[in-house]
Structures are given as C-alpha cells and as structure tokens.
Structure 1
Amino acid sequence: MLRVDLNQQGVLPMLKHLVFFKFKETTGPADIERLTEGLGKLPARIELIREFVFGRDIIHSDRSYDFALVSMFDDLEAMQAYQVHPDHQRVVAHVKEICSSVIAVDFEC
C-alpha cells in the first residue's frame, strides 16, 4: 500500500508493523479473548492506525507462532506515537502476562 503525496504528485511509502505472539502454556481462552477484545478496540481509539488485522494461527506447525497482528501507519513517527499510546500500552501489559515470546518486524512498503 502506498500513499499519494498530493502536494508533490508522488507516492510515499507507508510503514507496516507485524507482530507475532507465542502464548505461554498457561494461557487460556479467556486470556486470548481479552487480547482479542483489547486489540479490536485500538483502531477506533487511535486515529494513527491506517490498517489493522489480527488473528490466531490456523496451521499450528512447529515453526508457527500462535497469534499475529498486521498494522499499517503513515510513517515511523505515527507508529512510534501508537506504541506509547495509553490504550496500546494496556494491551502490551496483558501481552506480557500471557505470552512467552513476542517478535516484531517493521518495514516501509
């Protein structure tokens, strides 16, 4: 996805933010539901988010993580502002309780 720069008539890259979650063995359905509900509220509360999708892994291979999030922002500054937003920080606190591993990749596209 690219943004059109209306002033310069060019195309600007956007920032894609991917996060993969590995749940602890003790993580239960209620924990995952709370995560899903928390994430689901973020796009309405954080206007910087341009695209936001997430869900559980359906393959369950040895190399799979349990849950993934893909989001898109106008630029690095917008993503960094999202990172420190209080609503995002509440979700992060829950993630720290229920996940044994979290990895992220951020790139322009």
Structure 2
Amino acid sequence: MKKPFYLIFLFLLAAVACGPTEKQPIVEDSMPPETQIIETPMPDSVLRHVVLFGFKQTSSPEDIQGVIDAFKALPSQISEIKGFEWGTNSSPEGLNQGLTHAFTLTFYSDADRDAYLPHPAHKQFGALLGPHLEKVTVLDYWTKP
C-alpha cells in the first residue's frame, strides 16, 4: 500500500525538479489579446538608487512639498522606474549632515537607471529642485529583493 504513495511522491518531486528554470512573463489569459496584461517578473537582483536631499533655509514647506510631489510623479512618467519610496529623516543619532529627505527608486537593470537619468521628466524635475537644493547625496547599489 505504501508503494503507490512513494511513486506519486517521486513523480511530483521529479516534476518540480524538471520544471521551468527561467522566469517567463505572466499573461492574464482571461482577457482578449489586445487588452492582455503582461507582468514582468521581478529579477533576482534589483538596483536601488538612493537620493538624499537637504533643502535651503529659504525654501518654504510649500516649496519642499512641491519637490516631493514632483519626485513622486516620476514613476508614472518614466516606465523604467519599477519602485519608489520616500521619507524624512527620523534618526536620533544626529549624523544626517543636513540631509533631511530620502528617496529610493528601484530599477531592474543598469540600462533602466541609465535611461532614467537623462529622461526629460527627470531633467524637468531637476530644474524644479535646483533652486531649493542645499545638499545632495546619491548612492546606487544592487540587492536581492
């Protein structure tokens, strides 16, 4: 009686081991071909683009909020941005050196990041930011999601 159970277990184990090894796009088949949604699976590693800003004393809270809102709009304008988050410094250590706002953008490749940098929407954002920027630090790194 145990023999069929072991055979089924071995068959399932072999099926899992021999399954697809490459990630394929996920297609929602229940929709007509012209409206199908194709999702690109997340890669094994992602590129994080970390931007830290310190604003000028002369910039008003409304000016700073305008910069934040413009930065938050970039993912809807630049398809290469795969993730976005932001926040303000809350560290009690006092080591932020005048940098108060952190933004993290996620890219799936160096090429995506390289397309973002000269993108017209990014350039337009830079023009809005420029008059209010006191300090900036940018750091990119690869990580596992």
Q: Give the TM-score, by structure 2 length.
A: 0.64
**Number of aligned positions between the proteins:** 103
Residue number in structure 2 paired with 1:6: 23
Q: Which amino acid is the alignment partner of residue 116 of structure 2?
A: Y
Query: How large is the RMSD of aligned CA atoms in angstroms?
Result: 2.0
Structure 2 SS opposite 1:58: coil
Which runs of structure 2 are paired with 1:46-85 in the superposition (5 Å)?
A: 46-59=78-91, 62-64=94-96, 65-85=99-119
Residue number in structure 2 paired with 1:99: 133
Which runs of structure 2 are paired with 1:20-59 in the superposition (5 Å)?
A: 20-59=52-91
Structure 1 SS opposite 2:79: coil
Distance in 2 (CA, whole Å) between partners of 1:29 and 1:61 is: 24
Q: Which amino acid is the alignment partner of residue 135 of structure 2?
A: S
Unpaired segments of 5 or more residues in structure 1?
none
Q: Which amino acid is the alignment partner of residue 139 of structure 2?
A: V
Distance in 1 (CA, whole Å) between partners of 2:57 and 2:63 is: 12
Unpaired segments of 5 or more residues in structure 2?
1-20, 25-42
**Between structures 1 and 2, the one with greater strand share:** 1
Percent identity at matched positions? 25
The 1:5/1:105 distance shift into structure 2, 3 A limit, reads farther
1:60/1:66 contact within 8 Å kept: no
Q: Which of 9, 14, 18 is the equivalent residue of 2:50?
A: 18
Residue number in structure 1 paired with 2:121: 87
The 1:104/1:78 distance shift into structure 2, 3 A limit, reads same
Q: Give the TM-score, by structure 1 length.
A: 0.83
Deviation at 1:32, TM superposition (A): 0.7
Q: Which amino acid is the alignment partner of residue 41 of structure 1?
A: A
Over 4 Å off, 4+ runs: none
